[in-house]
């Protein structure tokens, strides 16, 4: 077999079980692809020795007949996940040199299932960004290229998206606080699902905004997303917000049959100035679902407009507190201090040189909105609007809507550096379609359904009912079948 790194999880799983290939072969294929792909900036800590050891162990398990779905499958891991003994920096200078003495619950579950870790993947610093340009490691680059510009793979899971799209792994983990799985998936022509808040344990994942963060898989298709999500999910007694619910066999739910399902099309997602190609993509997707037997209904989610401002109060507020622990005392980088400097100077210098500009900005905005006299005006008001945003979804689900179809992003991937001089709010608009889903705690999936006018991939988002990822994945599967998107980026790196 050639190009083993190009296999999907399901294909590789079946080949491993048949004995057509070994995990070591798969892993080596990925490692050599990684070696030639430094220009993409996807991997920031490569772990080839660990990968080969894990692959050998997986091969032994397969031989012994003990082979869970993911056994022997090489994955990339977002740098936000703490991996025992392996640098875990959240792409921040402030965590320079940090090697956790523990393994996150999600990666523990993946590795217990026999998955192989190829290395750590690039991302926006502390997952704050939509273009992977805030990383201390430098940019991750989109493998799609249509002119001489280098394009963003999106963010914050930009390295994950880039690595999956360029076949530098079979699949990757991502995390999503406001769209950080779905937006980069759409920008790179891959599939990414953010499950219901509480499905995946947050234990051992560096926190950005605790009430919004969820992990999820980034894969080459919907079936792979189903397989990998099942391994990532599950109740964790170490996370007080993790749901004590059984995890169904998601893959078994992929029948492609969506006859009689009701799909809502929210009118508020028709944004002013939205590119025609996005409108067309959305209309085409709607037709595909209709053709597959779904009932299409127009719906209203009246508070959509307020989702971004709500998000930009809640997420920075929680982040300002979550990131207070990076103080140079117990781990990570401590600034050199001057003569006569005390603890306060140590804190201020450490955090000034350890955090990048975007992180500093969000921490300070969060500090401001929580400060005396502003709490009610900003934070409490945002929590109330959040209640209303969630209620919008509850209302349409109560009316019988099974899933909601929206664009995943307001545009195709843009050029790295192009947003540099825009004010921060312009960049935040990237999350306009995805952020509502985090605020409402719902599952959302991004599926590539076509190429835009310039030849770049575009994705649609499906939003499901809470805890019904299986149903959502099946609808996404039907959309994927209908769209028949198979384009891959041409190798230039």
Partner 1 sequence: MLDLSFESPKPKVIAGAKHDWELVIGMEVHAQIATKAKLFSGASTQFGAEPNSNVAFVDAAMPGMLPVINEFCVEQAVRTGLGLKAQINLFSAFDRKNYFYPDLPQGYQISQLYHPIVGEGEVIVDMEPGIARLVRIERIHIEQDAGKSIHDMDPAMSFVDLNRTGVALMEIVSRPDIRGPEEAAAYVGKLRQILRYLGTCDGNMQNGNLRADVNVSVCRPGAYEKYQETQDFSHLGTRCEIKNMNSMRFIQAAIDVEARRQIAILESGGSVDQETRLYDPDKNETRSMRSKEEAHDYRYFPDPDLLPLEIEQEWVDGIAASLPELPDEKKARFVKDFGLSEYDASVLTAEVQNASYFEAVAGAAGDGKLAANWVINELFGRLKKDDRDITDSPVSPEQLAGIIKLIKAGDISGKIAKDVFEIVYTEGGDPAQIVEAKGLKQVTDTGAIEKAVDDVIAANPAQVEKAQQNPKLAGWFVGQVMKATGGKANPAAVNQIVMAKLGL
Partner 2 sequence: MSIDTETARRVAKLARIKVEDDALPALAQEFNDILGFIEQLNEVDVEGIEPMTSVTPMRLKRRKDGVTDGNQQDKILANAPDAREGFFAVPKVVE
- Scored b (16 or more CB within 10 A) or e, 270-284 reads ebeebbebbeebbee
Note whether 387 binds partner 2 by CB under 8 A.
yes
CB of 225 to partner 2, least distance (A): 21
* x-marked contacts with partner 2 along 88-117 as a string, rule CB under 8 A: ---------xxxxx----------------
Q: Which of 344, 398, 420, 421 binds partner 2 (CB under 8 A)?
A: 344
- Would you say 13 or 386 has its CB closer to partner 2? 386
User: Which of positions 220-259 make contact with partner 2 (CB under 8 A)?
Assistant: 237, 240-244
Q: What is the 3-state secondary structure (H, E, C) of 349-369?
A: HHHHHHCCHHHHHHHHHHHHH
**What is the residue-wise DSSP string for 268-308?**
GGS-TT--HHHHHHHHHHHHHHHHTTPEEEEE--TTGGGHH
Which one, of 122, 133, 112, 127, lies nearest residue 54 by Cα? 112
User: Which of positions 343-372 make contact with partner 1 (CB under 8 A)?
Assistant: 343-344, 347, 367, 370-372
Interstrand relation of 191-194 and 214-219 (parallel, antiparallel or unpaired): antiparallel
CB of 102 to partner 1, least distance (A): 6
Q: Which of 20, 60, 63, 102 binds partner 1 (CB under 8 A)?
A: 102
CA atoms of 93 and 136, how far apart (whole Å): 6
**What is the residue-wise DSSP string for 360-404?**
HHHHHHHHHHHSTTTIIIIIIHHHHHHHHHHHHHHHHHHTT--EE
Q: Which of 81, 187, 197, 250 binds partner 2 (CB under 8 A)?
A: 197
> What are the φ and ψ backbone dihedral angles of 192, each rounded to 5 degrees?
-145, 135
CB of 227 to partner 2, least distance (A): 24
Q: Return the one option of partner 2, partner 1, none that residue 493 interacts with (CB less than 5 to 8 A, by type).
A: none
Please provide the distance, in angstroms rounded to a whole number, between the alpha carbons at the two ends of the chain. Answer: 23
CA atoms of 438 and 213, how far apart (whole Å): 8
CB of 143 to partner 1, least distance (A): 29
Q: Which of 266, 303, 304, 408 binds partner 2 (CB under 8 A)?
A: 303
Note whether 64 binds partner 1 by CB under 8 A.
no
- Would you say 36 or 237 has its CB closer to partner 2? 237
> How many other β-carbons are positioned within 10 Å of the β-carbon of residue 346?
18
CB of 345 to partner 2, least distance (A): 7
Give contact residues for partner 1 (rule: CB under 8 A). Answer: 81-82, 88, 90, 95, 98, 100-102, 104, 202-207, 209-211, 237-241, 317-318, 320-321, 323-325, 327, 329-331, 343-344, 347, 367, 370-372, 375, 379
């Amino acid at each position: 077999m050639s190009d083993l790194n190009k296999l999907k999880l399901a294909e590789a799983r079946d080949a491993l079980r048949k004995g057509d290939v070994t995990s070591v072969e798969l892993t080596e294929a990925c490692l050599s692809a990684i070696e030639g792909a430094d220009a993409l900036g996807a991997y920031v800590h490569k772990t080839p020795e660990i990968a080969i050891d894990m692959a050998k162990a997986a091969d032994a398990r397969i031989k012994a007949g003990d082979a869970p779905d993911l056994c022997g499958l090489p994955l990339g891991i977002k740098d936000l996940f703490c991996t025992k003994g392996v640098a875990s920096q959240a792409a921040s200078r402030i965590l320079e040199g940090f090697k956790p003495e523990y393994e996150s619950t999600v990666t523990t579950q993946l590795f217990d299932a026999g998955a192989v870790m190829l290395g750590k993947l690039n991302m926006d610093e502390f997952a704050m960004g939509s273009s992977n340009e805030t990383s201390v490691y430098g940019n991750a680059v989109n493998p799609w290229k249509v002119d001489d510009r280098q394009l963003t793979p999106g963010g914050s899971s930009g390295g994950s998206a880039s690595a999956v799209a360029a076949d530098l792994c079979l699949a990757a983990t991502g995390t999503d606080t406001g769209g950080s799985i779905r937006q980069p998936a759409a920008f790179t022509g891959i599939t990414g699902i953010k499950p219901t808040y509480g499905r995946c344990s947050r234990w051992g994942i560096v926190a950005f905004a605790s009430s919004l963060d969820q992990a999820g898989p980034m894969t080459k298709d919907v079936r792979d997303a189903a397989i990998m999500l099942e391994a990532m999910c599950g109740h964790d007694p170490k996370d007080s917000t993790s749901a004590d619910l059984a995890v169904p066999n998601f893959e078994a739910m992929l029948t492609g049959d969506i006859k009689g399902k009701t799909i809502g099309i929210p009118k508020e997602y028709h944004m002013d100035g939205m590119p025609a190609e996005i409108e067309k993509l959305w209309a085409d997707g709607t037709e595909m679902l209709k053709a597959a037997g779904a009932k299409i209904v127009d719906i209203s989610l009246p508070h959509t407009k307020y989702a971004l401002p709500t998000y930009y109060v809640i997420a920075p507020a929680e982040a300002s507190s979550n990131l207070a622990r990076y103080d140079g005392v117990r781990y990570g980088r401590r600034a050199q201090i001057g003569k006569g400097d005390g603890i306060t100077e140590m804190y201020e210098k450490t955090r000034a040189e350890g955090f990048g500009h975007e992180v500093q900005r969000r921490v300070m905005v969060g500090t401001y909105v929580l400060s005396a006299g502003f709490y009610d005006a900003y934070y409490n008001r945002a929590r109330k609007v959040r209640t209303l945003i969630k209620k919008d979804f509850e209302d349409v689900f109560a009316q019988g809507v099974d899933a909601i179809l929206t664009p995943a992003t307001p545009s195709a991937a843009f050029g790295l550096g192009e947003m540099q001089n825009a004010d921060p709010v312009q960049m935040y608009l990237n999350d306009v379609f995805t952020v509502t889903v985090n605020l409402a705690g719902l599952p959302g999936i991004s599926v590539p359904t076509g190429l835009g006018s310039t030849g770049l991939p575009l994705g649609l988002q499906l939003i499901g009912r809470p805890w019904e990822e299986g149903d959502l994945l099946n609808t996404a599967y039907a959309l994927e079948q209908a769209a028949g998107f198979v384009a891959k980026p041409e190798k230039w790196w």
